[in-house]
Structure 1
Amino acid sequence: MKSTLKLSLKANEKIYINGAVIRPDRKVTIELMNDVQFLLENHVLQPEDASTPLRQLYFILQVMLMNPQGAPDARDMFRKSLPLLLASFKDEQILASLKQVDRMVGEGDVYGALKAIRALYPIEEAALRGGRDRELHEREPIAVGA
């Protein structure tokens, strides 16, 4: 027996379900009674906000949910991007989570993969900031004794 999921939406709050955009005109609670791929409006990443490697990966997967016709192309892009990300990150938690994301996408759980990527944002920010901090400290001074 499959479990159901209840979602409460505010008036005019969008939800993307299997590629359809739904926007209720009043506050509603909906019950999803079977397995569907959905994305809440507040989890939708705008293209201009896909400014880090993990946010770019998130955006690719988001396309799979929001545009089922574009899903094959997005899946191909995901398959090309993931190995590059795995090679570029050193953080063990990010690497382990990216492998889990790969497994989830392979099993069709794109929503779970998106949730896992969102959880990595703070770690990615710290890693990116840490890399810049180290880079700044390792540079030779431009002028000494000026």
Structure 2
Amino acid sequence: MSRRIPDLYLHLGETHVHHLNYGIFLLAGVGAYLLFWHPIGRNLEIAAIIYGSGMALTFDEFGMWLHLGGSYWQRASLDAITVISSVFGLITFAPSLKRFRFQHWAGTAVISIAVSVFFFMLIESFKYVGKVVIPVLQEIEVESPP
């Protein structure tokens, strides 16, 4: 917003194309590829990497999902990336459901409670951001030359 780095973003006329759109197209493309071609082996691994990249590009703009038309820089996007990455990491290293034992179910319950508390705190933090941080960011946007 302060124009300290070069503008490397795609602009179509006066419209800035956010990377959320790139992520959606990657997700749609990988979904179609998986649906119609059923890849295996190395091709499936490449599809997984592209899918993960599409998810990252999409969830990085999570704040814009919540506040359409709001400020571009939003804490909700960072929080969403953190939560999604954590959940994907837990799923990656979790045993299959057939091998789940009591400690796995207990861990799942603890994590579910922690995520619920996190989302409650996130919603409460929006009130703080709305009062304190958003006006400062809007001031920076107004002061920055186009």
Q: TM-score, normalising length from structure 2?
A: 0.28
Whose RCO is larger (CA < 8 A, sep 6+)? 2
Q: TM-score, normalised by structure 1?
A: 0.28
Higher helix share: 2
